[in-house]
Structure 1
């Protein structure tokens, strides 16, 4: 499968303590047109990010000292940046932990380097403001700007990850419609197949940020046996 050439401005930070994996990933990303920085541990990754803020981070979960989860938390605390998490174990708990701390995607080792490049391209493409157009979206005190990729609730800025933003935007654009997790994975993530718990985790995280009472959601509701629906009349 051919991959498109990335814009020269796209900088990817690869964080993996396995030199072979790091070299292979770096080689494929470099061939795809990305500028690549490398780090073998969490502290070095944070230093590299501080020196040259990346457009994307490919982050191994299992790192010496500071693990990938902590690195992801610290990076997300410094500013918005898409993160693709690598995990060797591939267990559901590990994947969910990565998503819970703000990773936008994950790839389980062993993986195809070409698949990883396609995942990176997909996440970067969706994070680019130039690919998001349309009027402001408003519901239940929420104002979402697709072009500026900014969202507020009752005037307060919402700290949303890339996928959370895209998921909220998609639901707000299609009020009153019930969508299955499979459908949302295809339309929001761009995946034809994958772990459906990814959608579940993101809905839970999103509810925690946009609902007045996440335990009793009124904006993003569950349609039993189907999936989720956005009820834009909530809070009116």
Structure 2
């Protein structure tokens, strides 16, 4: 059974969402503040979270940051903010998607299902395939192919690529990427800006035109995201 943790201080929103997800047969957990949300995330290990940005104790952004230090659980942000900068910032801190209020509960269900389909495909696929099979990543062999040719990547370059390819569209700050590399034992000395050098070298190896990359995209003032399009079979129902 799929477990979902919904976090919002508005009881009415929780009740409505709970009713819709219960119809799908999901196991529902709820929290009305950030402290409780962090506790229940650790206790219940949900498959996905729906997280409101405006909470009475600590902000949704801070909850997301703290969770991202320990978990890659998919997170859908609920927000009344709708400016581009606000939404980009939500993605930078680790959200996988966002829904602006007011929203349709059915839309939230559809988005949650879509994210879980993608994660399931990624977790069970022997290879990640993008852009009409032009890029292949084989996590078991730790191999990368560009247009059928094996590419030699350093451990850091490979980890950067795999991290971003796991969640296409999610924006990663330099600090996020630095921590991801080091937490898996791919340690290197340097500062956040050293990530730029590794990204530059990675682009030289996998991009056709480094001035107009299609895989490793810069989000100015924020960091980087993966722009590859998953193979059609990997996103199908």
TM band (smaller chain): 0.5 to 0.7
d(CA) in 2 for partners of 1:32, 1:55: 14
Distance 1:208 1:159, change over 3 A: closer
- Structure 1 residues 99 and 166: alpha-carbon distance in aligned structure 2, compared to 1, 3 A threshold: closer
Q: 1:85 aligns to what SS in structure 2?
A: strand
CA contact (8 A) 1:42 1:63 kept: yes
1:125 is matched with which residue? 117
Distance 1:146 1:106, change over 3 A: farther
Cα distance between partner residues in 1 of 2:105 and 2:141: 31
Structure 1 stretches of 5 or more lacking a match?
A: 1-7, 168-198, 231-236
Cα separation, 1, equivalents of 2:115 and 2:209:
28
Using the TM superposition, give the Cα deviation of residue 126 of structure 1 relative to its aligned residue in structure 2, in angstroms.
0.9
* Distance in 1 separating the partners of 2:31 and 2:69: 19
Asked if structure 2 preserves the Cα contact closer than 8 Å seen for 1:58 and 1:85, the reply is yes
> Could you say what the CA RMSD is over the residues aligned between the two structures, in angstroms?
3.9
Deviation for aligned residue 1:131: 6.7
The offset of 1:62, in angstroms, is 1.1
| Structure with bigger RCO (C-alpha 8 Å, 6+ apart) | 2
Instruction: State the TM-score, normalized to the length of structure 2.
Output: 0.63
How has the CA–CA distance of structure 1 residues 91 and 143 changed in structure 2, closer, same or farther, with 3 Å as cutoff? same
Indicate conservation of the 8 Å contact 1:211/1:219, yes or no.
no
Distance change in 2, residues 1:64/1:223 (3 Å): farther
Q: Which runs of 4+ in 1 moved over 3 A?
A: 129-132, 134-137, 153-164, 201-205, 207-217, 219-227
How many residues align? The count is: 182
